[in-house]
Chains A and B, each alone.
Chain A
Amino acid sequence: MRPTTAPAPLLFVVTLAVSVFMLAPIGLSVLAGLVKNYSVGVKSGFTLRWLGEVWENYGSTVGASIGIGLACVAATVVLGVPCAYMLARSRSRAARVFEEVLTLPVAVPGLATALALILVYGQMASFRQSFGFILVGHIVFTLPFMVRTVAAAFQRDELRALEEAARTLGASFAQRFLGVLVPAVLPAIVAGCLMVFTLSIGEFNLTWMLHTPLTRTLPVGLADSYASMRLEIGSAYTLVFLAVILPVLWALQALAATLQKRYGT
């Protein structure tokens, strides 16, 4: 759509109001984590004390969340990409049913999925109390996103032609899957990874039910600090969350954009 410069006062006002509504709390939160006393405000001066306390109490959750996020990405790629290919190529009814079923975890509230997992696997103590339990929940929740994104890319006509071309040149399935198809859908895979990582890092509904005091992720720690600690600590912790997630998101987005430019068909 061509840009316009025609005045649109109502839209402008709404956009302005919404922008302030969305951005002000972020700024406020960042500020609150750095001031000495929230009730007094900026006049009380700045400090890094709260950040220090956050790191002391909750530092481990940062590593846990990033670790689970990365593991989740790896798992969804390994499980999801071949599955996406199958869904894109298969014309059988079983495939269509599976495709529908895969979208269910998105409709079912995270709480319910967590309850279900506890119901069946809650008795296996070592599994129940490990990070693996949380990871499993994350994978089940994020797999549909990866599969859907990559399957859409595999279904494009150019991909079918590429595969047929590779076949005429004598490539076996393994050769053409790894050498031609996966590189061709790489932008979609990276977009999927971005989505999965983001969803995993921010996941709370499911994780809160599945966690134990020893297996806490960042969002779980945040909830804990909001309930039991001062506003300043909660704010500082939120700041840590932002500082962790923003660079990763931007890096992945930049990666996706570069890939699209270099390899776009």
Chain B
Amino acid sequence: MKPSTAAFGTPRWLLPALAAPAFVFFAAFWLLPVARLVALPGEKGWKTYFVVLTDARYAQSMLNTLTLSLVVTAVTLVLGGAVGIYLARRRFTGRGVLISLLTLPLSFPGVIVGFFVILLGGRQGLIPSLGASIGLSGLTFAYGLLGLFLAYLYFSLPRAIATYTAAAEAMDMQLEEAARALGASRIRITRDVWLPQLAPTTLATGAILFATAMGAFGTAFTLASQYEVVPITIYNEFTNYANFALAASLSIALGLVTWAVLFAARVLGADARTA
């Protein structure tokens, strides 16, 4: 590493030395392995890198994942935003408890969320049982797209609620009061006062939600869903077919798409800040 520009009087080796342990660990256990992983499909021919575009099954899987992630992100932002704004402006007994309960699922592994959906809508689930008791059959939704969607929504909402509550609390009340004094309606206030102030949060949170949804594995794994997402495809290739190179290629594709979206969000966010 190049010597860094430290303050006058501090030795030049100090700053690099402080970062060295982290750097060495990171290089050994992430940079090197990922570099190897990225090189792996090349060993089977460079066409292997594009398998996500050329093979219909994989292309479908990627499309599924993209669609699901985008829709879940959009719905979560709207619902999470609404809840965040509501909770930021109210004070009632149990508010603190409610907020911590709503953000609790942030610590859940995806498998638990999948399990919740099975509890609610699996073969022995609550809703099918209730339905059966009033004569409605076939209300099992856990294993299809709806179940997957609800599960993804479940693990995405806590993050949106957490960030929007914090952001809404920091919103400037005076802007809203000024708008109301000028006669703005609720809808106008939402559009002209709230949304612009919450835009940075929306961008940043949306990016994280999208990245999480794209890479989510445990939830789909537990639900053994028909709707195949890329992480499941990768897993199957590796475990069932010992197709390491293919798994690597799909991982790279997934990583690229996710990184591209995060990067775009960061650039847009920075642009908005400097504008």
Touch between chains A and B, by CB atoms below 8 Å? yes
The answer to whether A226 and B222 have CB atoms under 8 Å apart is yes
Known: A1-B88, A14-B82, A249-B107. A90 touches B25 (CB 8 A): no
Question: Interface with A: B27-35, B48-56, B198-206, which one?
Answer: B27-35
Instruction: Establish whether residues B214 and A22, one from each chain, have CB atoms under 8 Å apart when the complex forms.
Output: no
Partner of B115, one of A137, A201, A226: A226
Interface flag for B120 (CB, 8 Å)? yes
The answer to whether the Cβ of A79 comes within 8 Å of any Cβ in the partner chain is yes
Please give, as numbers and ranges, the residues of chain A lying within 8 Å of B33 by CB-CB distance. 113, 116-117, 119-121
Chain B's interface: helix, strand, loop or mixed, by majority? helix
Q: Does B59 have its Cβ within 8 Å of any Cβ on chain A?
A: no
Given the interface contacts A2-B173, A78-B21, does A86 sit within 8 Å of B15 by beta carbon?
yes
Q: Does the CB pair B114–A113 fall under 8 Å?
A: no
- Taking a contact as CB atoms under 8 Å apart, the answer to whether A11 and B86 are in contact is yes
Q: Chain B residues with Cβ under 8 A from A167's Cβ?
A: 9
- B269: CB under 8 A from chain A? no
Cβ B255 vs Cβ A109 within 8 A: yes
Q: Contacts A3-B90, A22-B105, A208-B217 known; A82 to B31 CB distance under 8 Å? A: no
Check A85/B85 contact, CB under 8 A, given A18-B157, A108-B34.
no
A4 within 8 A of B: yes
Report how far A167 CA is from B89 CA in the complex, Å.
Answer: 45
Within B87-101, the residues touching A (CB, 8 Å) are 87-91, 98, 101
Complex-state Cα separation, A113 to B234, whole angstroms:
12
Select one of A28, A89, A95, A117 contacting B120, CB under 8 A: A28
CB distance from B222 to the nearest CB of A (A): 5
**Contacting chain B: which of A43-51, A52-60, A98-106, A184-192?**
A98-106
Given contacts A11-B86, A115-B247, contact A202 B107 (CB under 8 A): yes
Task: Give min CB distance, A134 to chain B, whole Å.
Answer: 12
Interface band, chain A: 35 or more
- CB neighbours of B154 from chain A (8 A): 21-22, 25
A212 within 8 A of B: no
**Contact B19–A98 (Cβ < 8 Å):** yes
Q: Determine if B5 is an interface residue (Cβ-Cβ < 8 Å).
A: yes
A5–B7 CA distance with the chains assembled, in angstroms: 53
Q: Which residues of B contact A11 (CB under 8 A)?
A: 82-83, 85-86
Q: What string of 1s and 0s marks CB contacts (under 8 Å) between A172-215 and chain B?
A: 01000000000000000000000000100111110011000000
- Contact: B251 with A140, CB < 8 Å? no
Count contacts on B: residues with CB < 8 A to the other chain. 93
Once A108-B255, A119-B36 are accepted as A-B contacts, the answer to whether A25 and B116 lie under 8 Å apart by CB is yes
* Residue ID in chain A nearest B126 by CB atoms: A28
B258 x A108 contact (CB < 8 A) = yes
Chain B residues near A137 (CB, 8 Å)?
A: 29
Q: Is B14 in contact with chain A by the CB < 8 A criterion? A: yes
B29 near A112: Cβ-Cβ < 8 Å: no
Q: How far is the CB of B162 from chain A (nearest CB, A)?
A: 12
The answer to whether A93 has its CB under 8 Å from any CB of chain B is: yes
Given contacts A32-B119, A111-B251, contact A91 B4 (CB under 8 A): yes
A28 to B113, CA, bound (A): 12
Give A6's nearest chain B residue, CB to CB.
Answer: B89
A204 adjacent to B254 (CB under 8 Å): no
Q: Are A94 and B37 touching (Cβ within 8 A)?
A: no
A105 in contact with B109 given A29-B115, A119-B244 (CB within 8 Å): no
Contact at A222–B82, with CB atoms within 8 Å?
Answer: no
On whether A38 and B83 interact (CB within 8 A), knowing A98-B23, A112-B252, the answer reads no
Task: Write the nearest CB–CB distance from B23 to chain A, whole angstroms.
Answer: 7
A82 lies within 8 A of B21 (CB): yes
- A contact residues around B106 at 8 Å (CB): 198
Kindly provide the distance from the CB of B272 to the nearest chain A CB, expressed in whole angstroms.
Answer: 20
Q: CB within 8 A of A14: which of B14, B86, B89, B119? A: B86
Q: How far is the CA of A28 from the CA of B87 in the complex (A)?
A: 24
| A259 CB to nearest chain B CB (Å) | 18
Closest 5 CB pairs of A and B: A109-B215, A116-B33, A112-B251, A83-B22, A25-B116
Q: 15 other contacts beyond A105-B30, A106-B211, A115-B238, with CB at 8 A cut-off?
A: A1-B169, A12-B86, A14-B79, A14-B83, A109-B214, A109-B254, A111-B231, A111-B235, A115-B37, A115-B248, A201-B107, A209-B238, A219-B112, A238-B112, A245-B107
Question: CB within 8 Å of B: which residues of A?
Answer: 1-5, 8, 10-12, 14-15, 18-19, 21-23, 25-26, 28-29, 32, 38-39, 41, 78-80, 82-83, 85-87, 89-95, 98, 101-102, 104-113, 115-117, 119-121, 136-137, 139-140, 143, 147, 167, 173, 198, 201-205, 208-209, 219, 222-223, 226-227, 231, 234-235, 238, 241, 245-246, 249
5 A-B pairs, CB-CB below 8 angstroms?
Answer: A19-B102, A86-B19, A109-B231, A111-B251, A234-B115
